[in-house]
A and B are shown apart, each in its own frame.
Chain A
Amino acid sequence: MSIGHTLLGLLESGPRHGYDLKRAFDEKFGHDRPLHYGQVYATMSRLLKNGLVEVDGVETDGGPERKRYAITDAGITDVAAWLAQPEKPEPYLQSTLYTKVVLALLTGRDAADLLDAQRSEHLRLMRILTDRKRQGDLADQLICDHALFHLEADLRWLELTSARLGRLAEVVAP
C-alpha cells in the first residue's frame, strides 16, 4: 500500500498534525500494522519536499515542536491520479507452494502430505478471520473478506493440485 498517498488522502478533509495523521491511519487502515512515528515523519518530509503538502503552522507548547500539515493543489491532483490508476493484478507466478510441491516430487517425498498440511493451515487462518469478521464492524468485515477470498483462491489451487499430483509427478520426475 502507498502510505504517502493514503496520508495525503487523509489530509484532504483538513490540515492535521503528524500525530493525528498516524492515529487516523491506524484506526482506518492499520489493523494489524500500525505506523511507526518514524514512517510518518519520513513520509511527510518527502511529501513536503515534493510540494504535495505544506506546513500550515508550528506549535511549541513546551514540548517538541509539532508541525501542522495541509495538502496542496498538487497533492490533491496526486491523490486523484493514484485513485484513478488501476492496481496491477498480482499473478503470483513465483509461488513458493508450487516450488515446494515440485521439489517434493523430485526428491521422492510425499507431496500429498505437504498439500494437506498447507490446506489445514489455510483453513485454520480462514476460521480465525471468519471469527473476527463475525465480531467486527463493516470495515473489519471487508478487510477480512478480502483476505478470505485470497486464501480461498489458494485453497482451490491446493485442491486442484492434489487432484493432479499423479500427472504432475510424471511430468516433473520422469
Chain B
Amino acid sequence: MIQEFLKVPASTLWLAASQTIYMVCFSLLAGTVLGMALALVMVLTRPYGLLANRPIFFVVSSAVNIVRSVPFIILLVAIMPFTKFVVGTRIGTTAALVPLIVNIAPYLARLFENSILEVSEGIIEAAKSMGATTWQTIWHFLLPEARASLVLSVTTGTIGLLGSTAMAGVIGAGGVGNLAINYGYERLNMPLMAVTVLILVVAVQLIQTFGNIAAQKLRHLS
C-alpha cells in the first residue's frame, strides 16, 4: 500500500527513518556532553565567573563562535579530512556523525551557557557562603536550578539537529530529509515529498511538546 502510493519500497522509508534517528540520537548525546563541557568552561571562566580566566574564556568563546558561523553544508565538506581521521571514512551515515557533532556541540554550548547564566547570582552567593567547592556549586546548585531551562535547550538543539541531518545526505548519510530531496524533489515524487515533510513536522511537534512538558514538571510550579 505504502509502496504504491509513495512509489518507493517501505523498507527504504524505514531505513531512512532509522538513519535519521541514529544520527539525531548519537550526535545529540555526544553533542550534549561536549556542549555542556564547553558551556561550563565558559560560565566558570567568564569575567566575574567562579574561575574567571580571560584567556581561556576568550579562546573557548571564540572557537564556539567560529564553528557556529560556518554554515552546516560547508562544514560538512570542509572537515572531511578530520572526519576521515576520526571514523576512517568520508561518507555514509556514521561519517555524518562527526560534522553533526561538531555543528551541534557549540550550538548547545551557547544554549546551555545561557540557561546556566539565568540562575540567579544569589544562588551562587549562597553556595559560596556554605563553603561549596566549584564542582559542588555546579553539581548541587547551578545544574539543578538550570535543569528546566537546560531541557528546553536540548529540545531546541534536537530540532536543529533534525534539520541538519537532511543536509547530511550530501555525504551519503541517508535519512528522512535526504529521502525527500532525492526522491521527492529531484524525481518530482510529490506524495513522497508531502509524507516526509509531514513526518518531520510531526516529529518536531512531538519533540517540542515533550520538552515543554518535561521542563514544566521540573519547575515544580504546577
Pairing of A with B: no
